[in-house]
Amino acid sequence: MLIRFAYHSTGIEGNTLTLNDTRLILAYGQLPSEKGHSLKEVFEVENHRQAFDYLFKEATDKRPFLPLIVRNFHRLLTDHILPDGGQYKSLPNYIQGAEFKTAEPFEVSNKIQAWCDQLNQAFQTDKSLDDTLTTLMEKHIEFERIHPFSDGNGRTGRMLIDYGLVLKKEPILVIERKNRDEYIQYEVNKDVPGLVEYAKNKLTNERERMLNFYQTSERIKAFQKKEFNLLQKTTKPFLKNNE
């Protein structure tokens, strides 16, 4: 899950590491053998490990959305990349190609506090997955329009979606790099229903993936148990004869 999420989330923002490169970094602690990749790209992937650890720790403690959690996700995801990780922007920024203005630096602190408060309040009344996804996608679009950090807003925003899903005991949502243009259009057009439908389809696929993994794991365990019992049967006579 971590490997796929890191591969796709960084890829949406232009990271050129392959899925196998990402696996080498996160599963084996190895650098890609192919040349042409920057250290920045490696850190973009590696930083997802600590961000995921933080996500599950805070979600296990059932901590609501807080400005500190928002800033910590950004700090962890931009470690060794940005000098101002975890700090709100000090200069105005913009989204290339967007026709709207992002929040001014002096507005960010209050806007993120309100963003957290509104999200937490909505979570208390959400009764279904549709409700939860509608809340998360509305707030995701709003977060990207606030654009609270100098850089790294996209990957932070996607991590916050998954923080909300894990709080609600739902699977992790992986927005795939092949769907980048579709995803961005949903954001630009403030198309909440489109994002919700996209997310629902992806979560259905994720549940099927998890079920297949579990069933495969159970089959492997059953096979190993059968082999162990067979080994015991074949070695017992040998052991008795040598007592």
Active-site residue flag, 147:
yes
**Which candidate, 33, 58, 43, places its Cα nearest to that of 13?**
43
Pick the catalytic residue from 8, 48, 140, 147: 147
Runs of H (alpha helix) within the chain? 2-12, 19-28, 39-60, 67-77, 105-125, 129-146, 153-167, 180-188, 192-241
Structure tokens at 90: 């000090």
15 is in an annotated binding site: no
Q: What is the CA radius of gyration of the chain?
A: 22
Does 157 belong to an annotated binding site?
Answer: yes
11 marked ligand binding residue: no
CA distance 184 to 188: 6
18 is in an annotated binding site: no
Residue 153 labeled ligand binder: yes
Three-class SS state of 56: helix
Residues taking part in catalysis: 147
Q: Which positions make up the binding site?
A: 151-158
Q: Which positions make up the binding site for ATP?
A: 151-158
